[in-house]
């Protein structure tokens, strides 16, 4: 029997997020339809979404946009790892090796912004996975979404570790003129050994700092988030000062910081990672993180240290914190062991908060 050629070549049917999770649950990632493995060895699955703007509570913003799920940056501390169970994926290796691409994302964004009840509230981009991870260079979902936001004069706050953000300087500058636009480049540390250990798939810190300079020179309100501060790995006074100084040297408009928090799949993955790579730190983490957040006294001391360094290098804050009053221990740590009264502190005291 002769097989007649098809009159039409139908495009592949792309699953929704819910359908994707069901397929993974039943047959595993090996059975994903039309998934593509690229040169970085990650598997990329195109999916469709019914909505793009995501409403959130308890944050400085009410709406978020995230065109991708999963992230090849593979940061071991990433809080978004804990959402993997929603996709029937694990929070370890599959977080950085199985990436979902919401192929119709920009079109859905445009439709939602055109609704009569949209009142142009602040939209945060990159709150879950990075909008400028490498695959954005191919799909351009972030850029196309920014173009829609600009057309609808919607203010944007964008968080990324990806220097690719410089590609979209034109759109970001337009957003700043028509609405409001702030770019937050995430740089937890400029210490290269620590960067390699914690953020295996990201661009080097210096490359991100150069992106800060280029964005500022383009007239875009751009600062840096030391996010997260990782106890025992990036929290030492010497490392923090090196990072804040580098941020100031590259012209950032502000600097902010967030302390690591551990929950769900992120906690399981990070503690397993510590046990393998930094076993001496594991007992300290088990004492410090009996809950999702570190104790308030520790958190306040870290933020106070950042506040003191920010003042030293003439940087503006991202936001004010009532806790940013440096204690004598902090002054001592930054002054080589001498307190504000000139007295020295022993090593045990200096290491109390920063290991």
Classify residue 107: in a domain, yes or no: yes
What band does 288 get if pLDDT is binned at 50, 70 and 90? very high
Domain count, the chain: 1
CA–CA dist 134, 104 (Å, integer): 18
**Does the pLDDT at position 352 exceed 50?**
yes
pLDDT average, residue stretch 237-261: 97
Least Cα distance to 319 among 303, 296, 305 occurs for 303
In angstroms, the CA 281 to CA 355 distance is: 9
Q: Is the pLDDT of residue 350 over 50?
A: no
Share of residues in the chain with pLDDT > 70 (%)? 78
Kindly indicate the confidence band of residue 91, based on its pLDDT and cuts at 50, 70 and 90.
Answer: confident
Mean pLDDT of 213-221: 98
Query: Do the domain assignments include residue 351?
Result: no
Q: If DSSP states are collapsed to H, E and C, what string results for 185-223?
A: EECCCCCHHHHHHHCCCCCCHHHHHHHHHHHHHCCCEEE
Domain with 157 in it? 33-186
Tokens at 118, concatenated: 């949209």
Q: Lowest mean pLDDT: which of 69-83, 184-198, 275-289, 304-318? A: 69-83
Rounded CA-CA distance 147/227 in Å is: 27
Comparing 148 with 12, the larger pLDDT belongs to 148
pLDDT grade, residue 336 (50/70/90)? low
With a cut of 60, say whether residue 338 has pLDDT above it. no
- Position with higher pLDDT, 143 vs 351: 143
| Predicted structure pTM score | 0.86
Q: Is residue 160 part of a domain?
A: yes
Kindly report the average pLDDT of the chain as a whole number.
86
Q: Look at residue 149 and tell me if it is in a domain.
A: yes
Note whether residue 100 is domain-resident: yes
Average of pLDDT values for 213-238? 97
Question: Does 83 map to a domain?
Answer: yes
Residue 86 has pLDDT above 90, yes or no: no
Element (H, E) at 45: strand 43-47
| pLDDT, position 349 | 36
Tell me whether residue 108 is in a domain.
yes
| pLDDT > 60? residue 38 | yes
């Amino acid at each position: 029997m002769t097989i007649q050629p098809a009159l039409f070549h139908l495009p592949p049917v792309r699953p929704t997020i819910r359908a994707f999770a069901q397929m993974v649950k039943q047959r595993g990632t090996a059975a994903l339809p039309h998934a593509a493995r690229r040169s970085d060895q990650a598997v990329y699955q195109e999916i469709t979404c019914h909505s793009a703007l995501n409403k959130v509570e308890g944050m400085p913003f009410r709406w978020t946009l995230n065109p991708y799920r999963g992230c090849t940056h593979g940061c071991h501390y990433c809080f978004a790892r804990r959402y993997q169970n929603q996709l029937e994926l694990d929070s370890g290796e599959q977080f950085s090796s199985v990436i979902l691409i919401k192929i119709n994302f920009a079109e859905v964004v445009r439709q939602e912004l055109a609704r009569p009840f949209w009142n142009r509230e602040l939209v945060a981009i990159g709150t879950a996975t990075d909008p400028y991870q490498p695959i954005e260079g191919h799909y351009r979902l972030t850029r196309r979404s920014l173009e829609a936001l600009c057309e609808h004069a919607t203010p944007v706050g964008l968080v990324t570790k990806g220097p690719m953000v410089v590609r979209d300087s034109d759109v970001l500058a337009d957003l700043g003129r028509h609405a409001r636009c702030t770019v937050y480049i995430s740089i937890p540390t400029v210490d290269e050994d620590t960067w390699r250990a914690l953020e295996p798939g990201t661009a080097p810190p210096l490359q991100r700092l150069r992106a800060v300079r280029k964005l500022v020179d383009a007239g875009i309100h751009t600062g840096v988030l030391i996010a997260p501060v990782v106890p025992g790995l990036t929290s030492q006074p010497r490392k923090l000062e090196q990072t804040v100084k580098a941020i100031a040297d590259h012209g950032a408009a502000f600097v902010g910081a967030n302390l690591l928090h551990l929950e769900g799949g992120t906690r399981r993955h990070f503690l397993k990672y510590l046990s393998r790579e930094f076993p001496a730190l594991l007992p300290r983490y088990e004492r410090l993180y009996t809950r999702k957040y570190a104790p308030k006294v520790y958190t306040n001391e870290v933020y106070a240290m950042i506040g003191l360094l920010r003042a030293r290098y003439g940087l503006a804050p991202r936001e004010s914190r009532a806790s940013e009053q440096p204690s004598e221990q902090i002054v001592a740590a930054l002054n080589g062991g001498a307190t504000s009264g000139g007295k020295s502190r022993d090593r045990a005291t200096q290491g109390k908060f920063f290991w």
